[in-house]
Amino acid sequence: MVNPLILRSADFFPRSGQTVAVADRYPQNVFAEHTHEFYELVLVWRGNGLHVLNDRPYRITRGDLFYVRAQDKHAYASVNDLVLQNIIYRPERLALNFDWAGCIPGLDDAGWMPHWRIGSSGMLQARQVITQLEQESTKNDALSNSMAEALFAQLVILLKRHRFATDNLAAADSEPLLDKLITALSGSLNRSFILERFCEQEQCSERTLRQQFRNQTGMTINHYLRQLRICHAQYLLQHSEQMIGEIAMQCGFEDSNYFSVVFSREVGMTPGQWRHRSRVTA
């Protein structure tokens, strides 16, 4: 097995000994599997792509938030106008007397949940803090590192306040319509999703919502939901002993033959081939 590429701190932090910095990805291109000498927060602003984190695939788009540890291996594939920012940091250099582990999942390796969502209101506030953090992290005066760390503390508190589980409809209820739709889709992996019913409930135009979704994500609603289901199927194929027909049902496919056809078209191999290959290379 080929060891993943290791990203070195010296190549990404502007100054030696720096605690936190911002790495823009406008856009994020395909990037091979890698680990880091640092930790990072990943916040997706628009477009879509496939984020593979510790061998688990995630179809990502605007509002997706990841907490990535140094030892985690991840990669980006199948990107389409994917715009994100990485806030990179060295935990051992954090000097403020602050509950970092209480705000950053996985910092103490307890109960790590890497993938969250953040709604439009939280994204707007986060962008403002990240802009300040990016400016401060490029300075080289005696207080720049302390100022950057203080802004980073503000950011992680803000993200904790606004983040919610990817399928938590109740948490997304106060968010704008597009955020509610993306959350509803994430909660529909194992059951049918009827857009017309969603639009009736939200009293909105189906045509306008479809166009808004495509403008922000680069995908149709059906394509996004299909990709979410395929990613979930890939995970179950690798990490469970369930029969392929059972996995198809859990991923919203009532017909296992149709599931195999869609899976093969999207992934390039049958579910059985994927299960075998993923376990051989794990």
Per-residue pLDDT of 179-202, as tens digits, reads 999 999 999 998 889 999 999 999
What was the pLDDT predicted at 78? 85
Summarize pLDDT for 39-67 with one digit per residue, the tens: 999 999 999 999 999 999 999 999 999 99
In sequence order, what are the residues at sequence separation of 6 or more whose Cβ sits closer than 8 angstroms to the Cβ of residue 211? none
Is a pLDDT exceeding 60 seen at residue 1?
A: no
Buried b / exposed e along 71-82 (16+ C-beta atoms within 10 A): ebbbbbeebeeb
Q: What are the residue boundaries of the structural domains of the chain, listed by start?
A: 5-164, 167-282
pLDDT at residue 282, as a whole number: 59
Residue 22 C-beta-side C-alpha neighbours within 13 Å: 24
pLDDT band at 167 (very low <50, low <70, confident <90, very high): confident
Q: What CATH number was assigned to the domain covering residues 167-282?
A: 1.10.10.60
| CB-based contacts of 269, cutoff 8 Å, min separation 6 | 277
pLDDT at 14 over 90: no
DSSP 226-243: HHHHHHHHHHHHHH----
Res. 2 pLDDT band, cuts 50 70 90: low
pLDDT greater than 60 at residue 242: yes
Work out whether the CA dihedral 270, 271, 275, 276 comes out positive or negative. Answer: negative
Number of H helices, E strands in the chain: 11, 9
Task: Write out the DSSP string of 51-103.
Answer: EEETTEEEEEETTEEEEE-TT--EEEEEEEEEEEEEEEE-GGG--S-S-HHHH
Q: How far apart are the first and last CA of the chain?
A: 9
Fold for the domain defined by 5-164: Jelly Rolls (2.60.120)
